Amino acid sequence: MTEAPARAVLVGVQLPEVTDAAFKASLDELERLAETLGYEVIGRVTQARAGLSTRRGDRARQAHGAGPLHRRLG
């Protein structure tokens, strides 16, 4: 029995200075890299933002609320 490939969800933030075409190209490249490493890309989560937050509370939530990026989905 063959083990199913690890699955990945791509996450990206588009800042104002990044064009739609450049943002899409970047995520497409990330997807190819993930697939090269043997991951099955099952989705994308994107958000357009005016900037990245640097508030202390946001960093704490990100550090404690987000699991490892390589965590298997299932």
74 within some domain: no
Question: Domain range for residue 27?
Answer: 7-65
1 within some domain: no
48 within some domain: yes
The contacts of residue 42 (CB under 8 Å, 6+ apart) are 7, 8, 9, 73
Determine the pLDDT at residue 12: 96
Determine the pLDDT at residue 53: 81
As for how many domains the chain has, the answer is 1
Determine the pLDDT at residue 44: 97
- Tens of pLDDT, residue by residue, the chain (74 residues): 788 889 999 999 999 999 999 999 999 999 999 999 999 999 999 999 999 887 766 655 555 554 444 444 54
Q: How far is Cα 19 from Cα 29, in angstroms, rounded to an integer?
A: 15
43 within some domain: yes
15 within some domain: yes
Q: How far is Cα 61 from Cα 35, in angstroms, rounded to an integer?
A: 29
